[in-house]
Chain A
Amino acid sequence: MSRHGLRLALLYAAALLITLFLLIPVYFIFAASIGPQNSVYDFPKPLVPQNLSFDTLSFFLHYQGVPEAFKMSVEVGIIAVAVSLILGAPAGYAIARYTFPGKNVLQLIVLATRSFPVIILSIPLAVTFLSWNLYDTAPGVGLVHTAMGLPVTILITAAVFYGVPVDLEEAATTLGCTRIGAFFRISLPMALPGLAAAALFTFVGSWNEVFAASILTLQNHTLPALVLTSLNIAPLQFSFAAAVILIVPSMVFIFFIRRYLVAGWGQVTK
């Protein structure tokens, strides 16, 4: 084999190995939760599940508190998405379109807040939310998830609006639009897929977040918070099914926004 061919073979071998490392555990958790409930205690486990059944999954979905937690998670996610888009999209637009004094500092602050440990925020916010009547509510958790998702929303929307040439807006203004009209008729439609990606990204972040959600709720847990507090109480098949239910929506969303992932995170360092 030629040197080049050997190199290529090694490259694909490495890529394949990494792929297996990342995919096999996902396969196992699916295998573990597609079967009758008591199959989780089988040993040795068959690598290919023998008895296909939605028994375990349906056990989880009907477990006490799960439907409510599911609803809570969706509500929290929607609040986080809505607020971070309403606040973040204009900010992203400003960063993409304007040059102004203090721009770099502002960008840096936004970046810094994103890397701020959420553990530190949750505990004082829990105390504050008690007095604001936001403790143990969807808006309370949603707002904290907004704070976590907002910086990334700003970054992604900025990247999206960078991708819409200014010329297009200017052309629209010469053709009879106001500046705001040009934004809504030209930039916004072109930016919509990117904004949707930012929204999905925020939703996935919220859907997955467990620390703040556990700290800020007592009865009205989100799905991950419920799973976390039940780790030591509920049977193993509950956790396995929970993991699958948590993973599936995120995997689907990530599939839709995969094109934006690199653009969004690549932008981070510019």
Chain B
Amino acid sequence: MSSRVETAGAWGEEVTSSPSVPSRRRPRVEAVAPYLLLAPSVFFLSVFVVWPAIQAIHLAFEGPNNTLTSYNFYQMTHEYTFWPSVKNTLIFMVSIIPLEFCLAFSMALIINTGLRGQQFFLYVWTIPLAISDLAAGIVWLSIYTQNGYFNSILHDLGLSQYGYQFLSYQNTFSLFAVCVVAEIWRSTSLVMLILLGGLQGIPREFGEAADVFGATFWQRLWRITLPLLKPSIRVALILRTIFAIQVFAVILALVGSNLPVLGAQAYNWYHSYQNPNIAAAYSIVILVLSVLTTAFYLTVVRNKAEIAGATR
């Protein structure tokens, strides 16, 4: 049948019919209705997202007495924790994304096989989604702290008498490892959900057709599933990377200032040192990193028109 455009009837329009006026000249409330319905949200997001973003840039370049200055950036970059925090944030991001992506993709594939207990697994696997970064940090603190559960297990197994100091500032590798595990534990669920949503949008017949033509599991994954999943993969990667650049509470809770990262720096500059300008400068660094990585993903994981068409 002809494609329907749902503009039938008018919102809240009372009958104002006058047979002498041709209908095409009547005001078409239904044409503006969607804009009216969307306007409050757009306005709100402008005030609370777009405007503060502009303000952030202004703050970062604001000197005393409303002057414009780049001094905030000078001061920020010459502070001894700045470059370590940039380095740590980037290393953190680069080590998390691939690990987490593989894990999340495996999880989504497992759920999508429709195995028995699927509902149970899906619920348990989304539990971390409910857990805040702060709580997640504390959860892993209970495991990795010196008299925590990990050392207790090592002790019970006879591997260590008094336990290791995983969270000591002297042991950079274990600091990192602990934070990466905690962050993966907390945030893989989100990536899995996005990928699972994408997987469920791929008609089963595609995979079945590939099977009929003798594709192996890996061929099918590589030739059918992954290309069709590109839009979801891209969204998942972008979201996940932006969140990783903002990492903050997990690290503060687990290792405090032993591992400086950009998010924690911005928090400290605002909260402990009461300097919103340098805090804003840090947030600009986060923004620039986010924009750069998003642009990177958009060019590398490119969307093809035919894929969009095929998944509808």
Residues of A whose CB lies within 8 Å of any CB of B are: 8, 11-12, 14-15, 18-19, 21-23, 25-26, 28-29, 31-32, 41-47, 83, 86-88, 90-91, 93-95, 97-100, 103, 106, 109-110, 113, 115-121, 123-128, 143-144, 146-147, 150-151, 154, 166, 170, 173, 178-180, 204, 207-211, 214-215, 224, 227-229, 231-232, 236, 239-240, 242-243, 246-247, 250-251, 253-255, 258, 261-263, 265-270
Contact = CB atoms under 8 A, between A and B. Distances in A.
Contacts of B276: 123-124, 126-127
B124 A124 contact: no
Nearest to B147: A43
Nearest to A254: B130
Q: What is the predominant secondary structure among interface residues of chain B facing chain A? A: helix
B126 A258 contact: yes
Which of A106, A143, A228 has the largest count of B CB atoms less than 10 A from its CB? Answer: A228
Q: What is the predominant secondary structure among interface residues of chain A facing chain B? A: helix
Contacts of A12: 115
Nearest to A28: B149
Top 5 closest A-B pairs, CB basis? Answer: A266-B197, A208-B132, A250-B130, A124-B55, A43-B147
A99 B7 contact: yes
Nearest to B33: A98
6 contacts: A124-B53, A147-B45, A243-B135, A243-B138, A251-B131, A269-B194
Contact of A100 (B35, B56, B141, B280): B35
A29 B151 CA distance: 15
Contacts of B165: none
B152 interface: yes
Contact of B38 (A106, A119, A123, A228): A106
A145 B37 CA distance: 21
A115 B297 CA distance: 14
A261 B126 contact: yes
Contacts of A231: 252-253, 256
Given A119-B248, A120-B53, A210 B134 contact: yes
A95 B37 CA distance: 9
Interface stretch (B9-17, B93-101, B208-216): B9-17
B132 A211 contact: no
B200 A44 contact: no
A46 B156 CA distance: 9
Contacts of A215: 267, 270-271
Contacts of A22: 124-125, 127-128, 185
B44 A117 contact: no
Interface string B183-205: 00100001001101110110000
Nearest to A86: B40
A46 B248 CA distance: 31
A61 B207 CA distance: 53
Interface in B223-267: 231-232, 234-235, 238-239, 242, 245-246, 248-249, 252-253, 256, 263, 266-267
A261 B128 CA distance: 13
A227 to B, nearest CB: 6
